[in-house]
Amino acid sequence: MLKYLLNLSRFNKQLTMVFVDSIFLVLILLASFSLRLGHWYWPENDLIWIIFGTPVIAIPIFVRFGLYRAVIRYISFKLLWAVVQAASFYALVWGVVGFMMAVDGIPRSVILINWFLTILIIGGLRMTARWFFLDLDKINQTIKNNVVVYGAGSAGRQLLTALQQSSEYHPVAFIDDKYELQKQSIGGVEVVSLDDIENLIRKYKVNEVLLALPSVSRVRRNEIIDLLEPYQVMVRSLPGVSELAQGKINISDLKEVSIKDLLGRDTVNPNKGLLSKNITDKVVLVTGAGGSIGSELCRQIVFLKPKVLLLYEMTEFNLYEISQQLSVISHQCEVIPLLGSVNNRGRLSNIFKIFNVQTIYHAAAYKHVPIVELNNTEGIYNNIFGTLNCAQVAIDTGVETFVLISTDKAVRPTNTMGATKRTAELVLQSLDARQSGTKFTMVRFGNVLGSSGSVVPLFKQQIKEGGPITVTDKDIIRYFMTIPEAVELVIQAGAMGTGGDVFVLDMGKPVRIDDLA
């Protein structure tokens, strides 16, 4: 029978609810009279019609207040308020109809008792059904992941509601740093301190900690991650406040701790005036547009409203991928994908002339240190002579600004890749000193989290495969920043340059590679 009810269509389920409500509405009225008179009451004469005909009055009112639109499994306190409103209006209308029909034997207190019992029973039926169906779901579902929610604020409470209705997670406790919240209960879930995490993991076999701290600083988030590091749990987090503002928290909003959380600092806010100086209403070309840095450059550039954005890339798939991404967001400017190598001087010259390029961001380079070391001839040809080709054509065609994406490995280089980038810088400084038409600027920065040349993707893949993680030297340190942050600073540095400048980005405190792993 239960299985039959669950498999009914939505319309048939609504009819069933109407039928059940109709029966209970009649029983409620009989109970109201019985309570008032002090004995079991059975109506006579005209009272029979007004009692047994009560669904004719109540059901249209319940429909109007949306009591049959809500899905029982997911009803909320908002629906209970609708029950209160509907029951109040129904009780009032029923009383007025009874007195207008001049039916004898209706005590006025029966109206009040009927109102109270209707709220209690009609609302209670729905809540009972909700809990019953949720418990049934739990029985039919596979074993859920026991999780702990870190943060008992408003985001944590919203997350708890979503988790309790999910098929994946079972929240066993809150962790919160506020002493006044500890040992309290929120939504039936106890709030404890971080000191109890070990007991929770052992008692409930917790395998995930969900960070419901969208407003906390990145420094504090990093401290929490460090505190959780000794335990064998996966840590997931909610998005930031700006993302939460777009709608309510969903289970799908939970994500693994981002590589951005490894920075240990908040990202730097950009100067919007500098961002638009060399881009807005200009023809902009990005070489290596399909790479990790080049593609992020393109994504940020389209929002700065250039006249035309040219994507110059030698790998067809990478070019296709970034052009497809930009087609979704680049409604305010024309985006043109162009296949070609930076060593094809004729191709570069034709493009710069035809489109009258004004700003160039030169991100095309071979940057994997071991690969360039094994293929040093190609590294030199691409990184040095490719840059020289682009720069000379830029001068010949009157390009206003040329920004080279360089690297901190160009400082006292100890490998071929660093040496080629340092040579490229010297080439541009030499060309800048010989002419005044094109302004050349170079921007150096360290490892970018998640870029194709970063160690982070390798570490993530090794972790995914179960290890081991390969660390060449535990004492090696690196400076890190996120791709969006690096690109914003590149654009700003390019706007600040006066010609021949080499900008070095302040990347905060260094991170030990062993700690990163």
Catalytic residues: 409
Between CA 37 and CA 29 the distance in angstroms is 12
- Output 328-335 pairs: Cβ under 8 A, ≥24 positions apart: 329/299, 329/302, 329/303, 330/302, 332/302, 332/305, 333/302, 333/305, 333/306, 333/307, 333/308, 333/309, 334/307, 334/308, 334/309, 335/298, 335/302, 335/308, 335/309, 335/311
Q: Let me know how long the chain is.
A: 517
- Give the burial string for 107-133 (b: 16+ CB within 10 Å, else e): eeebbebbbebbbebbbebbeeebeee
Peptide bond into 510 cis (omega under 30): no
Residues 6+ apart with CB under 8 A from 175: 148, 149, 150, 151, 152, 191, 192, 193, 194, 196, 197, 209
- 236, 210 contact by CB (below 8 A): yes
Residue pointed to by tokens 């593609």: 295
Q: How far apart are CA 257 and CA 236, in angstroms?
A: 5
Q: Which regions of 267-392 does DSSP assign to beta strands (E)?
A: 283-287, 308-313, 334-339, 359-362
